[in-house]
Every structure is written in structure tokens, then in C-alpha cells.
Amino acid sequence: MFDIIFVSDFFVEHIQGGAELTSEALIQSSPYKIEKVQSSHIDFPFVQENKEKFWIFGNFAHLDERIKLQFIKNMNYSIVEYDYKYCRLRSDDIHKIYEGECNCEREHVGKINSLFFKNAKSVWWMSKKQMDFYHHIFPFLEGESNNVLSSVFSKATIDEISNIDTKNKSDKWIILNSPSPIKNVNATIEYAKMNDLEFELVWGLKYGDLLKKLGSSKGLVFLPQCKDTCPRITIEAKLLDCELVLNENVQHKDEPWFKTKESILNHLSTRTEKFWKGIERNVECLEF
């Protein structure tokens, strides 16, 4: 059985964000033996010791650039891209808001990270719009190595969602009170007020409690001010029979699989198999 190193800035043991939950769903469904390693902990001796293993990178903002160059030159790896790491702020929209025009694609960070993507055996995107945006900026990334994955849910999470009673909903709408500027909380609150929507700000709940809160609420107002590649909460809300108010920055919202509760469940049921079959093809092609 082939061994795999799964690298991320954080895992669910540290943060229970959307990226971490998707990574964990992939890890738990793996047919391979996996070692989880935080990106900040990787050094050259560790890479050398594990050079014959296959590596998967989730979020890698804390990865030493010299290590990244080592992988670009002669390592075997895949990438699951959750945001826009060619930009040093991981969002060209945030960059524009706080610092003016984003030119990261022409700067050192964009050049190194685009090469990191180019040399990956496969790249897994959260939405087609995210992938298309990358390909518009870096046309050389197009090719058979690209796959649209979306957020991934474990079977246990899908079962947990399916067991939540959604028959007794209140008239309240949920607004995610996230500190991230991407989520655009203040403007979302203003929208709710202007449209006479009774709302509740939610943040810091345990994951199961958040799901129950969605199950008992009328809907979700989610209006990010920046490109949000495949926000997990919108999927959870739709599965829990919430009405949705979304904007164009929710990048997966027009994909066919997101149309109905049934199509979402069908889609989610294929994600882990699609991913690991792709990784299996990558591993089978290696020649050490």
C-alpha cells in the first residue's frame, strides 16, 4: 500500500473551517495510509526522508518557499486549492480593497505558486469559476491535470445532516458573523435590515450545533464581497431546507449539482471516490 503525506496549514484538530473539514473528509476516506503534517513543520530532512512518497497539499501558506522549489523540481504531489494562493493575500479582491490593484500574478509569489500548480500531478479546484479564473490568469495551467472537486462531506456528516429535523423552522435568517473580510458581514446585515428580514448572527458554534441552527432557521443570507470558491455553509443550508439569498461571489451557486437537495446529495456521494481514483492514477504513473 502506497503511503501519502497530506500537508496543510491546519487540520480539523486545529480549526474546523470549510477547508479543514473537506481535507478531513478526504483523509478519512483514503484507501492509502496517510500522514498529516502541518506545512510549517516541513523541513528539508523530512522531505528527503519521504521523497518516494506521494504528497497532497491543501492550504500551504505556511510552507517554506525553498521547500516549494524542491517540490517543483523533482517531487510527486497534487494540490487541493481552496482559495487564490497565487495572491499573497489569497484573494485578489481583498488585495484590491486594502492595498489597491493586485498584480501578484506578475510578482514573485504568483510566479512561484503558479509553477507549483503547473508541476503538480493533479490540481483539484473548489468550483469551475475558480478554475476558470486561474486559467484566465495562467493559461499554461490548463490541461488534463485539472479537476473540479467542490467541497467534500464525509458520510458521517451527510448522515448527521439527514437526521436533523427541519419541520419546525423559525422566521429567522442566519447571517454568519465571520471575522473574515471576505464574508462581508456588515453589508449582509444591512441587506437583511433593508429587506425586513429577521436575522440572527451566528459564530463560534460547534459544528453539530451550527447544523441544528440551520435546520431550525428559515434561511441563510450569504453575500461575500469577494470570490468565495465553494462556501460550505451554503451547501449545508440547502441540505437543511433553508431558503438562500446569495450573490455572484458564491462561485459554485450556478453549477448543475447545486440546483436541488437531491442533486447535491448525489454529487456529494461521488466526491471522495472521484478524488482518490484520480490520485490512484497519479500514483500508478510514477516511476521511481
Convert the pLDDT of each residue in 110-123 to its tens digit.
999 999 999 999 99
Q: Which domains does the chain have, with CATH numbers?
A: 3-150+269-284 (3.40.50.2000), 155-254 (3.40.50)
Convert the pLDDT of each residue in 42-59 to its tens digit.
999 999 999 999 999 999
Convert the pLDDT of each residue in 168-203 to its tens digit.
999 999 999 999 989 999 999 999 999 999 999 999
Q: Of all residues in the chain, what percent carry a pLDDT higher than 70?
A: 99
pLDDT at 6 over 60: yes
Report, as an integer, the average pLDDT of 237-266: 98
Report, as an integer, the average pLDDT of 21-39: 97
Per the listing, cell 498529516 goes with 36
Q: Of all residues in the chain, what percent carry a pLDDT higher than 90?
A: 95
Give the confidence band of 259 by pLDDT, cuts at 50, 70, 90. Answer: very high
